[in-house]
Amino acid sequence: EVQLVESGGGLVQPGGSLRLSCAASGFTFSSYWMSWVRQAPGKGLEWVANIKQDGSEKYYVDSVKGRFTISRDNAKNSLYLQMNSLRAEDTAVYYCARDRTYDSSGYYGMDVWGQGTTVNVSS
Amino acid sequence: DIQLTQSPSFLSASVGDRVTITCRASQGISSYLAWYQQKPGKAPKLLIYAASTLQSGVPSRFSGSGSGTEFTLTISSLQPEDFATYYCQQLNSYFGGGTKVEIK
């Protein structure tokens, strides 16, 4: 079964750090771009970051640049999000997703999602 | 950055209705657009990719069209399980603001 399982969420004080993990199974992890997407309480989806198959390209939404780092370990079939200098506005459910990326025909979408892990930034 | 604007942000409809949701991009994005459905407390589900291709396993009452700056998601006959929030997404990044479909 193709599956993504996130972990590492929790309550953290403003300015603190947290590392999210996403364990992949049931597919060839090293063949796919991977993304983190978050959803603040009662709000819409927000793309956070993505990473190429070999980790050579990484992209971030402006609001997390310089604070968050996306990484992956293909040997462990795992995706990570290191979050530093956390702010109240980072409070959200964080999803990892398999990204089929695009070619000249179009964008193929994020077809596999985890169940999400909740990050709460509060004093 | 390219902005995606969905309309309406909320719609009320009845079972059996034809429903159309629009997503407008601030710049042309060719067919680099996907649509998702999300139910409360659940992860999003991919419905349509490359603007008009139905994801495997998604009912044929869902369809997508458009290219460039204007895209539509259509549900031909709304079913009870379709009441949810729908999002468009461009390339592999930004999402639209969402459209919540509720029961009339």
User: What one-character-per-residue DSSP string does A62-74 give?
Assistant: GGGTTTEEEEEEG
A59 to chain B: closest CA residue: B93
Give the pLDDT band (50/70/90) at residue A102. confident
A108 to chain B: closest CA residue: B49
pLDDT in tens, A6-55: 999 999 999 999 999 999 999 999 999 999 999 999 999 999 999 999 99
pLDDT in tens, B41-60: 999 999 999 999 999 999 99
CB contacts of A50 in chain B (<8 Å) are: 92-93
Give the pLDDT band (50/70/90) at residue B65. very high
- Cα gap A115→B41, rounded to integer Å: 9
Structure letter (DSSP) for residue B82: G
CB-based contact B90:B103 (threshold 8 Å): no
Mean pLDDT of chain B: 96
User: Positive or negative CA dihedral for A87, A93, A94, A99?
Assistant: negative
Q: Flag if B36 and A45 touch (Cβ within 8 Å).
A: yes
Per cent of chain A over pLDDT 90 is 94
Query: What is the token pair recorded at B20?
Result: 């159309």
Q: With 90 as the cut, is the pLDDT of residue B99 above it? A: yes
Q: With 90 as the cut, is the pLDDT of residue B92 above it? A: no
Alpha-carbon gap: A108 to the closest alpha carbon of chain B (Å): 5
Q: With 90 as the cut, is the pLDDT of residue A101 above it? A: no
Which residue in A5, A70, A110 has the most chain B C-beta atoms within 10 A of its own C-beta, making it the best mutation to test that interface?
A110
Give the pLDDT band (50/70/90) at residue A96. very high
- What does the pLDDT average to over A69-94? 98
Give the pLDDT band (50/70/90) at residue B104. confident
What pLDDT does residue A60 have?
A: 96
- What does the pLDDT average to over B76-101? 95
